[in-house]
Amino acid sequence: MICARHVGGLVMAVGAALLALGAGGDAARAQGMTGPIDLGTIQLNRSQTAPAPPLRKPPPSTAGRAVDIKAFFGRFAGGGFAEGDDAAYFGMTERDLDVQIAPAADGGFTLAWTTVLRQGGDPQAPDVRRRTASMTFMPGPRAGLFQAADNGDPLAGGMISWAHISRSTLTVHQFGVLADGRHDVQTYARTLSPTGMDLVYTRVVDGERQRRVKGKLVKNAN
């Protein structure tokens, strides 16, 4: 049981401690200390933000640049499948594809390709047709644009052909006029791949697609 004398002593001790703290605060204010005591740490104003690190310039990208025509030089062989009116009965026709692109004079190039069509039917005697074509292109009026050396008048049965390079794709367009007056546009898009090239061929007559071929070709080592 705590006696009154002990309680009184405790009260006096607490009072003395409070008076000492008050005196210390008055002394600090008298010396101009109005903020927290500096203990060696740096305090940042919340209204200020740390400066952002300088931005690094990204390396120049080549994604939008067209490759040089020399990247397409070589011989490529592979296969593909065609969809269109000529395959309506059998669904799809299989094709063997062979493409050779070589340099020509004055910065042009020669494009030669062979297509072997293997259409369904008698397995012992399949319908096989072989088509071969060759064209020479010369540099056009703009970089990456080429025009065929043997362009003719479409109204007289000839054809206008041109090629252009976009990024890693060499596209050849052929424009002609059929006997009945309809226009015929054929497009060969050859895109470089890690092993060779991918081919997408389309034929559009008077705005309606007649045929589409997709193939993959591997570049020969020699």
Q: Would the pLDDT of 5 be above 60? A: no
Q: Would the pLDDT of 83 be above 50? A: yes
The Cα–Cα gap between 218 and 222 comes to: 12
Q: Would the pLDDT of 44 be above 60? A: no
pLDDT in tens, 155-181: 999 999 999 999 999 999 999 999 999
Q: Would the pLDDT of 22 be above 90? A: no
Give me the pLDDT at residue 85, please: 61
Q: How sure is the predictor about 82, in pLDDT bands with cuts at 50, 70 and 90?
A: confident
Domain residue extents for the chain: 69-219
Mapped onto helix, strand or coil, the DSSP state of residue 156 is helix
Q: Where does 69-219 sit in CATH, by number? A: 2.40.128.20
Stretch 64-87: mean pLDDT, rounded? Answer: 85
Residue environment code for 167-200, b if the CB has 16+ CB neighbours within 10 A, otherwise e: ebbbebebbbbeeeeeebebebbbbbeeebbbbb
- Can you list the pairs that 110-114 forms with residues at least 24 positions away whose Cβ atoms lie under 8 Å? 110/134, 110/135, 110/136, 110/137, 111/135, 111/136, 111/137, 111/163, 111/172
